[in-house]
Structure 1
Amino acid sequence: MAARDEHEKVVVARAAAALVEDGTLVALGSGSTVARVAAALGERGSRARFAVASPATEAAAQGAGLTVVDAADHDRYALAIDGADEVAPDGWAIKGGGGAHTRERILIAAADRFLCVVGASKLVPRLTRAVPLELQPFGLAATLAHLPGAVLRDAPPTADGGVLADLPADLTDPRALAARLDATPGVVDHGLFAPELVRELLIADGDAVEHRHR
């Protein structure tokens, strides 16, 4: 299964790279699939410009010879490319396994299109993972009191100094949970991404790639 997953990451990364037009401004998320997208873009000699969601993606993009720009200087992108940890049939997705979901959401929300790139194993009948959280370190104990069951990650702070945690939760109504998390003081962001954002999927299943529009 690990070998198949790795193969599908490469397959979907190459398919995604083929959709990036030269001269455009593109946002890249974070994670292992996005690192492979950066490599595939480098192989194609892409002349697009790229804003990145994490230091790891920046290193991958620069290593692939891509032009990296400062996201602070740009308010709109032609395309955002990122992976997901789980995607349900109704379009809800969980992201943030790598802890960069706050920056990923900012870039995705600023893009004309979001291309979610996944292997077939990421498509699930329903969301089941714990929801990633980024929390303010200030008043952390008070924040956690509103999040019973949340488990702090044994991980360094995010690039913006946030604390990472994961919240096992009832995901039968992800919209209600997302609203509750959005309203919880101290929660910087969470890993629930709504169908309004996840409209376009690029799915690798073995050697085949499906481009699915919602």
Structure 2
Amino acid sequence: MGAREEDREKAAAADAAAGLVDDGMLVALGSGSTVALVAAALGARGSRARFAAASPATATAATTAGLSLVDAASTGRYDLALDGADQVAADGWAIKGGGGAHTRERILIAAADRFVCVVGSSKLVDRLSWPVPLELQPFALAATLERLPRATLRDAPPTADGGVLADLDADLTDPGALAARLDATPGVIDHGLFAPDVVRELLVAHGDEVELLAR
């Protein structure tokens, strides 16, 4: 699929995602190019919902679109969370965090009554193959990397919360086992593996057609 077709699908999915938002809702927005398009589509609709942003870039996109932002630090629950993904496998596992905001995205998704993952068809794969994004604690970073010999630090600034970004070249035959190992690794703040029980709804664009898939 060419870049132009991917962009067209992304825009179609984002517009459909904006249609899920009703005025008065509290909505969590993730991060990335698809979410920026969702924010623009919501602004074009004149949405009177209120939004939390998982990253400074999303906050900028939301305010530029004229959306009303809430303070995530003092907001406990959301009606809906909208975010994209780098890959979604046939078994329901997803990789997120190409943009480095996966820790905040996971927190907001966990606080939402409903999460809809918004993707174009190119993000659907038979099985996961991307490196797994990591956010690492900068303290004793060398010791953490000793436990993760196949992790490569990104040439990227610290996250909004001061974490260090890395990518793990890992065997993804059993994503659940890998996620459990990463969860138990000291120094790993969070990883980009999202389980099927989290990614239960997909809004997928196939060309100009968009379908909502529920697992």
Q: Residues of 2 paired with 1:170 and 1:149: CA distance?
A: 10
Matched, 1:94 2:95: yes
Cα distance between partner residues in 2 of 1:10 and 1:193: 23
**TM-score after normalising by structure 2:** 0.99
CA distance in 1, matches of 2:54, 2:130: 22
- Cα separation, 2, equivalents of 1:131 and 1:196: 19
Residue 63 of structure 1 deviates from its aligned partner by: 0.1
Which residue number corresponds to residue 205 of structure 2? 204
Partner of 1:186: 187
Q: Kindly provide the amino acid, as one letter, of the partner of residue 125 in structure 2.
A: V
Q: Secondary structure at the match of 2:82?
A: strand
* SS of 2:43 mapped into structure 1: helix
Q: Distance in 2 between matches of 1:45 and 1:18?
A: 11
Number of positions where the alignment pairs a residue of Structure 1 with one of Structure 2: 214
Offset at residue 148 of structure 1 (A): 1.1
Point out 4+ residue stretches in structure 1 off by more than 2 angstroms: none
1:70 matched to which residue of 2? 71
Provide the rounded CA distance (Å) in 2 between the counterparts of 1:5 and 1:29: 19
For residues 5 and 210 of structure 1, the distance between their equivalents in structure 2, rounded to whole angstroms, comes to 16
1:145 to partner: Cα distance: 0.4
- Cα distance in 1, alignment partners of residues 25 and 114 from structure 2: 12
What is the CA deviation profile of residues 28-82 of structure 1, one whole-angstrom value per residue up to 9, with x for unaligned ones?
0000000000000000000000001000000000000000111001111000000
**Secondary structure in 2 matching 1:202:** strand
Q: Secondary structure at the match of 2:211?
A: strand
Identify the residue that residue 84 of structure 1 maps to in structure 2: 85
Q: Percent identity?
A: 76
Mapped partners of 1:172, 1:114: distance in 2: 25
Note the residue ranges of structure 1 that are not aligned, 5 or more in a row: none
Q: Distance in 1 between matches of 2:211 and 2:176?
A: 27
Alignment partner, residue 163 of structure 1: 164
How many angstroms apart in 2 are the aligned matches of 1:134 and 1:197? 19
CA distance in 1, matches of 2:14, 2:173: 31
Per the TM alignment, residue 149 of structure 1 is displaced from its structure 2 partner at its CA by 1.1
